[in-house]
């Protein structure tokens, strides 16, 4: 292992998350439901050139090199409720806008489908240094038809 510091012109960043799901989740109706939720709530867009019926769905998360990759598998991913991946927004106000979009989406569904929207509502944690709050970390979690939740965070520096 080298002792030399690792240097990049630009810091590397995450560009995608991949999850396996049952093939029926990626049939025409399943894809439509997934695309509808994540586009209505987050503004993500299906990359139709990547779509393969009952095999694959790729959602661009605001840019083409940042995406959610869903693939069918006979043994799909299963995760405990709080397993998640995270998104950061610029402000508490933006976080609440997204949270409210989740609520509105769920409210518009028939009651038997609304339970598919799993929302852990807005909360925050205070982080202290020298007895003073230096960061209030706001978040909410949501899952819809996927094995992992999405945690949305806003960092409020004090």
pLDDT at 141: 98
Q: What are phi and psi of 148, to 5 degrees?
A: -110, 145
- Token duo for residue 10: 């630009």
Query: Cα dihedral sign for 44, 50, 54, 55?
Result: negative
pLDDT at 7: 85
pLDDT at 8: 87
Give tens-digit pLDDT for 7-36.
Answer: 888 888 889 999 999 999 999 999 999 999
- 17, 64, 80, 83, 135 from 45: Cα distances, Å: 15, 9, 27, 23, 33
Overall pTM > 0.85? yes
pLDDT at 14: 86
Confidence at 116, pLDDT banded by 50, 70, 90: very high
- Token duo for residue 142: 């949501």
As a whole number, mean pLDDT of residues 85-89 equals: 96
Same fold flag, 1-78 and 80-158: no
* Residue 14: partners with Cβ closer than 8 Å, 6 or more residues away: 66
Tell me the fold of 80-158.
2,3-Dihydroxybiphenyl 1,2-Dioxygenase; domain 1 (3.10.180)
Domain layout of the chain by residue ranges: 1-78, 80-158
Does 2.60.120 match the CATH number of domain 1-78? no
* Residue 62: partners with Cβ closer than 8 Å, 6 or more residues away: 43, 44
């Amino acid at each position: 292992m080298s002792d030399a510091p690792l240097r990049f012109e630009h810091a590397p960043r995450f560009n995608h998350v991949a999850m396996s799901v049952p093939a029926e989740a990626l049939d025409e109706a399943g894809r439509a439901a997934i695309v509808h939720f994540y586009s209505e709530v987050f503004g993500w867009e299906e990359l139709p050139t990547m779509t393969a019926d009952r095999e694959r769905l790729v959602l661009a998360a605001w840019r083409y090199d940042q995406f959610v990759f869903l693939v069918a598998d006979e043994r799909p991913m299963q995760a405990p409720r709080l397993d998640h991946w995270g998104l950061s927004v610029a402000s508490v106000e933006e976080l609440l806008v997204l949270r409210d979009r989740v609520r509105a989406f769920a409210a518009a569904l028939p009651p038997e489908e609304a339970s598919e929207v799993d929302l852990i509502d807005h909360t925050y944690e205070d982080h202290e240094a020298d007895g003073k709050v230096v960061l209030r970390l706001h978040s909410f979690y949501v899952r819809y038809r996927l094995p992992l939740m999405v945690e949305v965070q806003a960092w409020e520096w004090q």
